[in-house]
Amino acid sequence: MGGKFDRTYNDGRGPYILRLHGLTYHQIGSLMPEDGKKPVFSQLYMFDNERELEERVNFPANGDKLDKKITTDLSTMLHRDNELAKVFHHVRDRFKKFGSLDLFITFTCNPKWPEIKEYCDKIKNVTPVDRPDIMARVFKIKLDILMEDLCHNHVLGKVIGVAYTIEFQKRGLPHAHIVVWLDESDKCKYTDDIDFLISAEIPDKDVDPVGYESISNFMVHGPCGELNSKCACMKDHRCTKFFPKDYTNETFIDSNGYAVYRSRNDGRTIMCKDVAVDNRYFFSHAS
């Protein structure tokens, strides 16, 4: 977990005090074991059932083997009844069947959605924060519509596989992380294909006024760096999210296989917190 022990309030005779800073997270590490090492924890789930059972039986560090029948019964019960185990295996099977994913999409609840505002405006002194149930309901409805567009209307291409998980931010807003596998005919094989689906630039206000307003309101980072050295993302005089990005005239694939999206110095800016920001401060979004 992210955090530090604060030893300024006791001299060791009392309980530990853990002071949390910023985002708290759990790092699970690699899903595959290092060369020469046995799988542990979630790595065990990445194998088929027989291999998983074999690894579990031989897991104890002292060399003693577990009772295979008891381990088999527990494993069977886990796979049959534990919903998290079912989801984990479902995603594992998707990767085995379809290979590397094609799209990673994040869909976040917006408390300014008109459906949420309309409800809250009807009740005195009620804000979206006061009704997380309403935000969750509206979010799920819109998520279902998005999945319908992706899987059945094929707005981003023919989908052959999909999986998603819903999480809640520390302030309560739900968001979904979605992985998508596309049919071979719709895969992004060239950088032009990526540019057709994904952009990291400010839209033309005259050509796409709706996109311009949405991107300006929700997809800008900071500003930070030289424009705002006191931004929450700054640490040791640098942005922990690596903004502002470098200008990039063309989309390309880096040495690690990740796409670096086109972000040109085209002169377009928007005002954010009384500061003019350009393409270097924008998250990638649907074109």
Taking only the tens place, the pLDDT of each residue in 50-90 is 666 776 676 655 556 778 888 788 878 887 888 888 887 78
* C-alpha separations of 221 from 190, 205, 234, 245 in Å: 28, 19, 12, 11
pLDDT of 158 > 90? The answer is yes
- The pLDDT value recorded for residue 233 is 87
pLDDT of 1 > 50? The answer is no
Taking only the tens place, the pLDDT of each residue in 11-28 is 666 676 766 655 555 566
Which of 71-85, 166-180, 185-199: highest mean pLDDT? Answer: 185-199
Helix segments in the chain, DSSP class H? 49-57, 68-81, 83-98, 114-121, 132-151, 191-197, 209-218
Rounded to two decimals, the pTM is: 0.72
* C-alpha separations of 186 from 98, 106, 145, 160, 175 in Å: 14, 20, 21, 10, 26
- Count helices and strands in the chain by DSSP H and E runs: 7, 13
Q: How confident is the model at residue 280 (pLDDT cuts 50, 70, 90)?
A: very high
Q: 260 with 253: CB under 8 angstroms? A: yes
Q: How many CB atoms lie within 10 A of CB 248?
A: 17
Taking only the tens place, the pLDDT of each residue in 100-155 is 889 999 999 999 899 999 999 998 888 888 888 999 999 999 999 999 999 999 99
Q: How far apart are CA 236 and CA 13, in angstroms?
A: 34
**Three-state SS sequence of 77-117:** HHHHHCHHHHHHHHHHHHHHHHCCCCEEEEEECCCCCHHHH
User: What integer best gives the mean pLDDT of the chain?
Assistant: 84
